[in-house]
Amino acid sequence: MLSETADNLGMTPDEEGRRQFLTKLGLGACALTGLGAALTVADFLEPKVLFEPPTSFRAGNVSDFPEGTVRFNEEQKVYIVGGAAGVFAMSAVCTHLGCITRPAASEGGIACPCHGSKFDLEGNVTHGPAPHPLPWFEVRADATGNLTVDTSVVIPHGKALKA
Ligand code: FES
C-alpha cells in the first residue's frame, strides 16, 4: 500500500515516509491549537465571581450578652459586645491597613497585631496609627431576643440595641 502510493506520486518510500510524518505533525499541531483555543474559551466562559459570606448572620440571643461580654465572630470578623447601653456589633478590621484585631484582655480593649493600634471596647482609637474608630454594624432582635447582625449597614457609634 505504501509503495503503491509512493509509486503513484512518483515518490521513493523514504519521501513517502517523510510526507506521512509531516502530515501527522501538522495534524498534531492543529489538534493542540484547537485544544488550546477550546480551553481558553472554556476559561473565558467560567464566571469569575468572588463568593463572599452573607452580610447578615445570627449572633445568639440578647440574654447571651450581659454587660462586659465581648465575643469575636472570626468568620464574619465582627465583635458582638454587651455594653452598658445594650448590645452592639462592630468590625474587627483595623482601620489602619485592614489587619484583623483581637481582644486584648490584659488591656481591657482591642489591639491590632500589625502596627500596634489599640481600641477601647466601643471601638474608639486609644492608640494609633489607626485613623478611625472601628465601625458599628446594625443589630436587630426578633420578638424572642434572637440577634441578627448586618455588616452591610454601618450605624453611628452609640446606637446600641437596648435589651
Ligand atoms: S493594620 Fe492595624 S495598626 Fe496597622
CA distance 69 to 82: 5
Q: How many residues appear in the chain?
A: 163
Domain 56-155: what homologous superfamily?
Answer: Rieske [2Fe-2S] iron-sulphur domain (2.102.10.10)
If you measure from the C-alpha of residue 123 to the centroid of ligand 1, how many angstroms do you get, rounded to a whole number? 14
CA distance 126 to 92: 15
The amino acid that residue 29 corresponds to is A
Name the residue with the closest Cα to ligand 1, atom 3: 115
Lowest mean pLDDT across 2-6, 28-32, 75-79: 2-6
Using an 8 Å Cβ cutoff, are 140 and 148 in contact? yes
The number of the ligand 1 atom at minimal distance from the alpha carbon of 128 is 3
How high is the pLDDT of residue 17?
Answer: 86
Using an 8 Å Cβ cutoff, are 151 and 78 in contact? yes
91 ligand 1 Cβ < 6 A: no
95 ligand 1 Cβ < 6 A: no
Summarize the confidence of residues 54-78 as an average pLDDT: 88
Q: CA-CA distances (angstroms) from residue 92 to 15, 70, 131, 136?
A: 75, 12, 15, 10
Q: Is the pLDDT assigned to residue 159 strictly greater than 60? A: yes
Q: What are the boundaries of each domain within the chain?
A: 2-45, 56-155
127 ligand 1 Cβ < 6 A: no
Q: Is the pLDDT assigned to residue 74 strictly greater than 80? A: yes
Taking the model in full, what pTM does it have?
A: 0.66
CA distance 134 to 101: 10
HSE, side-chain direction, 13 A CA sphere, residue 72: 14
How high is the pLDDT of residue 1?
Answer: 46
CA distance 85 to 157: 11
If you measure from the C-alpha of residue 93 to the centroid of ligand 1, how many angstroms do you get, rounded to a whole number? 9
pLDDT band at 162 (very low <50, low <70, confident <90, very high): confident
How high is the pLDDT of residue 11?
Answer: 77
128 ligand 1 Cβ < 6 A: no
In degrees rounded to 5, what are phi and psi of residue 134? Answer: -70, 130
- pLDDT, tens digit (0-9, with 9 covering 90-100), for 79-133: 999 888 889 999 999 999 999 999 887 777 899 999 999 999 898 999 889 999 9
pLDDT band at 9 (very low <50, low <70, confident <90, very high): low
Name the residue with the closest Cα to ligand 1, atom 1: 97
